[in-house]
Amino acid sequence: MPARLEGRLAAPDRPSPGDHCPIDRALAVVGTRSALLLLREVSYGTTRFDDLAHRVGISDAVASARLRELREAGLLERRPYREEGQRTRQEYVLTASGEELLPVLLALAAWGRRHTDPTHSPRFTHAGCGAEVEPEVRCAAGHVVALDDLVVSG
Amino acid sequence: MPARLEGRLAAPDRPSPGDHCPIDRALAVVGTRSALLLLREVSYGTTRFDDLAHRVGISDAVASARLRELREAGLLERRPYREEGQRTRQEYVLTASGEELLPVLLALAAWGRRHTDPTHSPRFTHAGCGAEVEPEVRCAAGHVVALDDLVVSG
């Protein structure tokens, strides 16, 4: 059963949501495999351009374009660093906005673990207690919400 | 602070994860804006090809290719239906696997609502109690998990 639509969204001739849809607005920033995998890598602590491009498996040109978009959208920032005797380089770190994309990455990981060939999937656990981490959809009152319990009103 | 990596993932020369990464495996199926927006539309109860293409704002050719991929990956299924005096047509509905992508869609919506221009965002609420729905990352023991509380071991 699908979600229940209310308000303008329930009209039979409702228009294409476009900019009114926060999912679409998010995808304008992170709607590519390379953007999401770069965010995964920075979330895992990779900071250097060469390592990011290599671990995501993309060309330097794609990595460069995507990292610039993610900086312009405020998910990543660049910081200078310098190792002894080397020239100054730039490293990439998440902003607070970038850290808030974690539920998207973990929801993709949970779906991938369950619904694609489970070759060597890593485990995601809570550092504090060791329990498995899995994103759930709950309402502010704490109820688990399945698709047919969801109301979308716009 | 990034997540903490353990096991093979913690090696300084760790390889590109590729197929070993469930996020990447999920993105092989739903790593495009058009795939995710088609899943949004079917989650909202849109079933007909023409409505799906129109509401996502994509060409018939792209909609057709993407819907076929989503069926082949087991997220959607096609069912015949027939209105009085019309020829038989096909409608698209989510499979159980497709319904389990809801946390990804709602996590994108939550990020989009918070971090992009909030023009007319719809509200997502729980039909049972009316409270707002927002995906959270918790461990099985119920603790909220931020990025620096996360351990990824592979």
With an 8 Å Cβ cutoff, are A43 and B131 in contact? no
User: B21 to chain A: nearest residue by CA?
Assistant: A121
Q: What would the two tokens of residue B53 be? A: 């293409």
Token pair for residue A113?
């673990």
pLDDT of residue B15: 65
Number of domains in chain A: 1
Check: CB of residue A58 under 8 Å from CB of residue A103: no
Give me the pLDDT at residue A1, please.
Answer: 84
* DSSP-H helix ranges across chain B: 22-30, 33-43, 49-56, 60-72, 96-99, 102-115
B149:A137 CB<8 A = no
- A153 contacts B125? CB cut-off 8 A: yes
Confidence check: pLDDT of A3 > 90:
yes
Residue A16: per-residue pLDDT: 67
> Which residues of chain A are within 8 Å of residue B32 when distances are taken between CB atoms?
31-33
> How far is the C-alpha of B30 from the C-alpha of B25, rounded, in Å?
9
Is pLDDT at A25 greater than 70 in this prediction?
Answer: yes
Answer yes or no: do B153 and A111 touch at CB < 8 A.
no
Helix (H, G, I), strand (E, B) or coil at A13: coil
Contact: B20, A122; criterion CB under 8 Å: yes
Quote the mean pLDDT of chain A: 92
With contact defined as beta carbons under 8 Å apart, do A5 and B45 qualify?
Answer: yes
Identify which of A133, A122, A135, A56 has the alpha carbon closest to the alpha carbon of residue A92. Answer: A56
Tell me if B125 and A112 make a contact (CB, 8 A cut-off). no
> Do B104 and B75 touch, CB atoms closer than 8 A?
no
Q: How high is the pLDDT of residue A61?
A: 98
From chain B, pick out residues whose CB is under 8 angstroms from the CB of A105. 23
Residue of B nearest to A14 (CA): B55
Q: Which residue of A has its CA nearest to B145?
A: A126
DSSP string, B67-110: HHHHHHTTSEEEEEE--TTS--EEEEEE-HHHHTTHHHHHHHHH
Distances (CA, A) of B84 to B37, B48, B51, B112, B150: 30, 16, 20, 42, 55
Question: Of B45, B55, B147, which has the smallest distance from its Cβ to A102's Cβ?
Answer: B147
Number of inter-chain CB pairs under 8 A, A vs B: 320
* A99 part of a folded domain: yes
pLDDT in tens, B84-99: 898 898 999 999 999 9
Supply the pLDDT for residue B44.
94
Interval B124-146: pLDDT, tens:
999 999 999 988 899 999 999 99
* CB pair distance less than 8 Å for A152 and B94: no
Please give, rounded to a whole number of angstroms, the shortest distance from the CA of A150 to a CA of chain B: 5
Could you give the angle at the alpha carbon of B95 between the alpha carbons of B91 and B98, nearest 5°? 110
A15, pLDDT greater than 70: no
Quote the pTM value.
0.94
Could you tell me the CATH number of the domain that includes residue A137? 1.10.10.10
What is the C-alpha to C-alpha distance for residues B59 and B133, in angstroms, rounded to an integer? Answer: 32
Structural domain span for residue B51? 4-153
Residues of B in Cβ contact (< 8 Å) with A33: 24, 27-28, 31-32
pLDDT tens digits, residue range A100-120?
Answer: 999 999 999 999 999 987 667
> Side chain identity at A15, as an amino acid letter?
P
Six token digits for residue A18: 């476009």
> What pLDDT, on a 0 to 100 scale, did the predictor assign at position B16?
67
Q: Considering just the CA atoms, what is the radius of gyration of chain A in Å?
A: 19
C-alpha atoms less than 13 angstroms from C-alpha of A136 in its C-beta half-sphere? 17
pLDDT tens digits, residue range A124-154? 999 999 999 988 899 999 999 999 999 999 8
Predicted local confidence at residue B148, as pLDDT: 93
Provide the pLDDT confidence category of residue A10 given band limits of 50, 70 and 90.
confident
Model confidence at B69: pLDDT above 80: yes
Measured in whole angstroms, the distance separating CA A65 from the mean position of its chain's CA atoms is: 18
Mean pLDDT within B104-114:
95
In the structure, what pLDDT confidence band is assigned to residue B14 with cuts at 50, 70 and 90? confident
Cβ distance of A25 and B125 shorter than 8 Å: no
Q: In this predicted structure, which of A12-16, A23-27, B140-144 has the lowest mean pLDDT?
A: A12-16
List all residues 6 or more positions away from B120 whose beta carbon is below 8 Å from its beta carbon: A20, A154
Using the Cα atoms of residue B130, residue B133, residue B139 and residue B140 in order, give the sign of their dihedral.
Answer: positive
Is residue A138 one of the residues assigned to a domain?
Answer: yes
Which token pair is B81?
A: 């239906």
d(C-alpha A85, C-alpha A104), whole Å: 40
> What is the per-residue pLDDT across B18-57, written as a single tens digit (0 to 9) for each?
668 999 999 999 999 999 999 999 999 999 999 999 999 9
**Pair of tokens at residue B83:** 């209105």
Q: Which residue of A has its CA nearest to B117?
A: A25
